[in-house]
Amino acid sequence: MFLLWAGAAISISEIYTGGLTAPLGLAKGLAAILIGHLIGTLLLAFGGYISFQSGKTAMEKVRDSLGPVGVKVIAFLNVLQLIGWGTVMIIQAGRAFGGIANLSLPVSMIIMGFAVLIWAFFFNNYSKALNDIFVLILLVLSVMIFFRIDMQSLPPITGQMNFATAVELSIAMPISWLPLIGDYTKNGQSKRGVVLSSFIGYFIGSMLMYLLGFLITLHTGMDVIEYIVQSNMKFIAGFIIIIATVTTAFMDIYSAVISSKQLFPFKNENLMIVLYSLISLMIAFVFPIENFESFLLMIGSVFIPVYTIVFIEYLTHYKGQSSKLNTLGILIAAFGTFLYQYFVNVEWGSPTIMVFILVAVIYLTLKKVIIHDALS
């Protein structure tokens, strides 16, 4: 499982996001990346742990907390964000691979889209060991890129970034995996193994990717795609792009299929994998990739308040919803989404921490009042 989550973190998207923090400079940028990853990956590992304890998928745990109707809302949003992630990776990998192979963007995106489809199909039906082997190769090759960066150069960096937003961008990436980590950890062998392998695997992989993107932009003034296209190691870079994309994107596609089981019944997972892969590819031709940062923050705004409710229900030993809809939980989670956007706009503090605390306090208080009134 360590290699599964390390592989999930190794992607062009993570490198690209790390580069966004470069305007902060070396010290503040490193601090923001470290703080954000500690917060985000701890939440991710806890999400995997509660699925392991119950033997349920991520969306089944949401169902326990928000009810059979409530989970349909969250599952639908999760399918959208997972297809969106597949789209983002196809675009970013297509841009980089197209530049290396001298192909047009549409052609390179089609190549990456079908690579994701084939890998997801293969992983679901045949072997997971090959994925682990390629993850180890990717880790080695990614470390090699570090030694090719000219650490002496410090060109002026354009763009603006405040510390709180940089921390939030580092939190947002592991948080985006919260609605699917349980799909894999529910069958883990031990609670210690589940927590440590998911935390350490994702933390190491994601930190490596963020630092790689951060240092590339800090010392070259280019984002990772520009850097790769202009580098003299195009063969290695091309291999990293293709394999890193498929080892990450297949998890998004597969979990979109698993989440869809909360929305409508189906038996043929392979057909759904093909369908969602093709949908991601088609959306790639119209997706506004320049809004990638907003896409990341949007994910946090939805799933941070939802999983605050899920965590609270677990920690208070809740046994599951007797009704079809936890109306209070859905309303407070929706309110948390607006709170998150507010804190992002005012650029004060960490939206994740602020929303987590406020949603927890409001939900626990109102729940206590409702239970008290019901017993009176």
Per-residue pLDDT, averaged over 223-241, amounts to 74
Structure tokens at 319: 């046994």
Q: CA 126, CA 309: separation in Å to the nearest integer? A: 36
pTM given for the model? 0.83
Provide the total of helices (H) and of strands (E) in the chain, helices listed first. Answer: 15, 0
pLDDT of amino acid 258: 87
Per-residue pLDDT, averaged over 107-131, amounts to 78
Per-residue pLDDT, averaged over 261-273, amounts to 88
pLDDT grade for 330, boundaries at 50, 70 and 90: very high
Whether the CB-CB separation of 360 and 308 falls below 8 Å is answered with yes
pLDDT of amino acid 228: 74
Per-residue pLDDT, averaged over 309-331, amounts to 80
Within 126-222, residue ranges assigned H as helices are 129-146, 163-175, 178-185, 191-220
Whether the CB-CB separation of 13 and 88 falls below 8 Å is answered with yes
pLDDT grade for 372, boundaries at 50, 70 and 90: low
For 243-257, what is each residue's pLDDT tens digit?
Answer: 888 878 878 888 889
Q: CA 12, CA 210: separation in Å to the nearest integer? A: 10
Q: CA 53, CA 36: separation in Å to the nearest integer? A: 26
For 73-102, what is each residue's pLDDT tens digit?
Answer: 999 988 988 888 888 888 888 888 888 888
Average pLDDT, the chain: 84
Q: Which range (7-21, 194-208, 229-243, 256-270) has the least confidence? A: 229-243
Contacts of 278-281 spanning 24+ positions with Cβ under 8 A: 278/113, 278/117, 279/83, 280/83, 280/86, 280/87, 280/90, 280/113, 280/116, 280/249, 280/253, 281/87, 281/90, 281/109, 281/110, 281/113, 281/114, 281/117
